[in-house]
Amino acid sequence: MSGSWMTTRAWLLMLPLLVVMVSVIGWPLVDTVRLSFTDAKLVGTEGNFVGLDNYAKMLSGSNFQRTLVTTTWFAVISVAAEMVLGVLAALLLNQQFRGRTLLRALMILPWALPTVVNATLWRLIYNPEYGALNAALTQIGLLDAYRSWLGEPNTALAALIVADCWKNFPLVALIALAALQAVPRDITAASMVDGAGPIARFRFVILPYLVGPLLVALVLRTIEAFKVFDIIWVMTRGGPANSTRTLSILVYQEAFSFQRAGSGASLALIVTLLVTVLAVAYAALVRKAAGSTS
Amino acid sequence: MERKSLPFTIFIYAAALLLGLVILAPVIWLFIMSISPAADLSAKPLRWWPQQVDFSRYAMLLSTVENSAGAAFLASLYNSLRVAGMATIAAIALAIPAGWAVSRTPTVGWSLSVVIATYMLPPVALAVPLYMGLSYLGLLNNVFGLALVYLTILAPFTTWLMKSGFDAIPSEIEAAAIVDGASLFQTLRIITLPLAAPVVATSALFALLLAWDEFFYALLFTSDLRAKTLTVAIADLAGGRVSDYGLIATAGVLAALPPVLIGLVMQRALISGLTSGGVKG
């Protein structure tokens, strides 16, 4: 069979997928670019060409800058915590103890819980009057008076990060555990014979096996965290006083609450550009790490 | 072969207990809230276990009496099932031929990278034109419209999973069947697809879970019982005027049940699917 017929056949088999992808992803993306240069409203007016006005307005606005900082904080802290907790949990689950199989099985729970249910659950836990967190902390004497965890600007973001970490660190743990199980036993045994302590063993024997998979997890989680919308919308809607407003929430408000499709589109593309930069930078990082370990 | 000291063993068990508690406590609390009478949930000090176990909210949410909370809940449950089911079937139907083509034809491999790259796109980058497009087609607040939009998420993901699945099936088996006189489509139907059945099942489960979990597009593109999904219904409850927190918790338990059961039963397949990308990278 000739190569060109194979290629043609492959394109024919992919045609349905490509048609759908172009109509639900390709065209909307191109149209977002077009809209971003107009002052179009969500309904009604087509809008006029305004050049780069939307971009200039959005980038120089204090809303965008503050939101970018909030998003970065959310992504950096929650992903870092998820990585550390995930690796610690995986190291534990890789030990021999009774009940290990059950504990491993339980790790799937937070991951399987729908994001909106997780957000709702934590919203109830943080409830200022009847929440379990206030009750537990007061009953063991760590807290004098009930607090409004999601209602105060200085605790709301931290409360959100805890809820996000709880849902996502088990996934990192499962990925790290799979990598740990790929470490050959004779290598760890040999390193012990050679007198390597637990920390040296982790650093020089185990960590090289973890780096690749963890980098992939880091990439995906960072991109997800940067795009975060669901958990924040359900728990705080970006409040109080916009202290938990992330980029996706800001785009939603601009394009849908205020119906400013044009400037909303420009903001959405700025977010897309930031995510793309992250993805490309990380892809390079992953390739480099993969090259150095194999 | 490795002798563990007693303090180390104690440390391991203490850590395991702590991890188990961290994972389970919030989930168990969600369930306890769902079976506690409203008075217990607003008691100070808070009652951690109900004086009297109360399953009435489950009956309430699963009742079909017209215009009740149950009817609204069941309608959104039905919408979620329909949207997730339709989007999953469509995504798998697109992914099987495309995944096979990419797996067997190295020259078109780059196209899969493009498809996967779209998975990184923030939904906000597509939301405004999708809203206008659905509005133009009369598909706003419509389960078909929402299922179509969900393909933006499901199709790239399932294609990627199917491609790795087909990679694991040696193409020599197909070549042998073709030498024996089978046509390409006979070969795929009789030889390849049965071998790929586990991958198809795993991809479909992942797609179902993704669609069941989706919130952003559902929030934007649905407005009432005709199309509103479970995630939007729960967010409405959580953010609305409902004063019975137990009712919100009950809706959460019911919405979490299908994915949690799938997660626990399909554990092995899901974990290997989740980690395969990571381990290979």
Are the C-beta atoms of residues A188 and A170 closer than 8 Å to each other?
no
Least confident of A108-117, B239-248, B270-279: B270-279
Quick check: B45 and A138 CB within 8 A?
yes
Of B220, B230, B260, the CB nearest to A256: B220
In a domain, A9, yes or no: no
Read off φ and ψ for residue A49, nearest 5 degrees: -65, 125
Q: Give the residue among A242, A249, A286 at the shortest CA–CA distance from A271.
A: A249
User: How many CB atoms are closer than 10 A to CB A19?
Assistant: 12
Name every chain A residue with its beta carbon within 8 A of the beta carbon of B153.
none
Q: What's chain B's average pLDDT?
A: 89
Q: In CATH, what number does B69-280 get? A: 1.10.3720.10
Q: Say which residues have a Cβ less than 8 Å from residue A51's Cβ, sequence separation at least 6.
A: A37
Report how far residue B210's alpha carbon sits from residue B259's, in angstroms, rounded to the nearest whole number.
10
Report how far residue B160's alpha carbon sits from residue B127's, in angstroms, rounded to the nearest whole number.
23
Quick check: B94 and A17 CB within 8 A?
yes
Q: What is the CATH number of the domain that holds A194?
A: 1.10.3720.10
Report how far residue B109's alpha carbon sits from residue B118's, in angstroms, rounded to the nearest whole number.
15
User: How many CB atoms are closer than 10 A to CB B94?
Assistant: 25
A 47-86 near B (Cβ less than 8 A):
none
pLDDT at residue A242 in the model: 93
B 142-201 near A (Cβ less than 8 A):
148-149, 151-152, 155-156, 159
Of A120, A174, A215, the CB nearest to B275: A174
In a domain, A16, yes or no: no
DSSP symbols for A144-197: SS---TTTSHHHHHHHHHHHHHHHHHHHHHHHHHHHHTTS-HHHHHHHHHTT--
Name every chain A residue with its beta carbon within 8 A of the beta carbon of B213.
114-116
Q: Does A9 touch chain B (CB under 8 A)?
A: yes
Q: How far is B66 from chain A (nearest CA, A)?
A: 25
Q: What's the length of chain B?
A: 281
B 9-28 near A (Cβ less than 8 A):
9, 12-13, 15-16, 19-20, 22-24, 26-27
In a domain, A25, yes or no: no
Q: How far is A181 from chain B (nearest CA, A)?
A: 11
Name every chain A residue with its beta carbon within 8 A of the beta carbon of B237.
120
Report how far residue B248's alpha carbon sits from residue B245's, in angstroms, rounded to the nearest whole number.
5
pLDDT at residue A21 in the model: 94
Whether the pLDDT of residue B1 is over 50: the answer is: no
- Interface confidence (ipTM) of the complex: 0.91
Q: Say which residues have a Cβ less than 8 Å from residue A287's Cβ, sequence separation at least 6.
A: none
Of A132, A179, A265, the CB nearest to B279: A179
Name every chain A residue with its beta carbon within 8 A of the beta carbon of B11.
none
Helices (DSSP H) in chain A: which residue ranges? 3-21, 27-36, 53-60, 62-93, 100-106, 108-112, 115-125, 132-139, 153-180, 185-193, 198-201, 207-226, 230-235, 247-252, 261-293
Q: Say which residues have a Cβ less than 8 Å from residue A43's Cβ, sequence separation at least 6.
A: A259, B135
Q: Does B33 touch chain A (CB under 8 A)?
A: yes
Report the residue of B108, B124, B253 to disrupt the A interface, i.e. the one with the largest count of A CBs within 10 Å.
B124
The domain ranges of chain B are: 1-54, 69-280
Helix (H) or strand (E) holding B229: none
Q: B32-78 pLDDT, tens per residue?
A: 999 999 888 888 888 899 988 999 999 999 988 877 788 889 999 99
Q: Does B211 touch chain A (CB under 8 A)?
A: no
Domain that holds residue A178: 53-113+156-293
User: Model pTM?
Assistant: 0.92
Domain count, chain A: 1
In a domain, A240, yes or no: yes
pLDDT at residue A290 in the model: 66
pLDDT at residue B213 in the model: 96
In a domain, A189, yes or no: yes
Quick check: A10 and B105 CB within 8 A?
yes
Name every chain B residue with its beta carbon within 8 A of the beta carbon of A21.
115, 118, 155-156
Q: Does B275 touch chain A (CB under 8 A)?
A: yes
A 95-134 near B (Cβ less than 8 A):
95, 97, 99-100, 103, 105-117, 119-125, 127, 129-130, 132
Q: For residue A49, what are the β-bridge partners?
A: A38
Residue A246, token pair as written in the block: 């992330």
Helix (H) or strand (E) holding B75: helix B69-104
User: Considering all CA atoms of chain A, what is the largest pairwise distance in Å, rounded to the nearest integer?
Assistant: 78
CA distances from A118 to A154, A282, B116 (A): 22, 28, 27
Name every chain A residue with its beta carbon within 8 A of the beta carbon of B223.
none
Single-letter residue type at A234? V
CA distances from A184 to A94, A97, A117, B69, B139 (A): 13, 20, 40, 56, 55
Q: Tell me the pLDDT of chain A (294 aa) as tens digits.
A: 567 888 899 999 999 999 999 999 999 999 999 999 999 998 877 788 998 999 998 899 889 999 999 999 999 999 999 999 999 999 999 999 999 999 999 999 999 999 999 999 999 999 998 899 999 999 999 988 899 999 999 999 999 999 999 999 999 999 899 889 888 888 877 877 887 787 888 888 888 888 888 888 888 899 999 999 999 999 999 989 999 999 999 999 999 999 999 999 999 999 999 999 988 887 787 777 766 654
In a domain, A209, yes or no: yes
pLDDT at residue B47 in the model: 85
pLDDT band at B281 (very low <50, low <70, confident <90, very high): very low
A214: left (phi over 0), alpha (psi -120 to 50) or beta: alpha
pLDDT at residue A62 in the model: 85
Whether the pLDDT of residue B273 is over 90: the answer is: no
Burial B179-216 (b: 16+ CB within 10 A, else e): eeebeeeebbeebbeeebeebbebbbbbbbbbbbbbbb
Give SS3 for A38.
strand
Report the residue of A15, A94, A120 to disrupt the B interface, i.e. the one with the largest count of B CBs within 10 Å.
A120
Q: B220-241 pLDDT, tens per residue?
A: 999 999 999 999 999 998 887 7
Size of the A and B interface in Cβ pairs below 8 Å: 285
User: Considering all CA atoms of chain B, what is the largest pairwise distance in Å, rounded to the nearest integer?
Assistant: 78
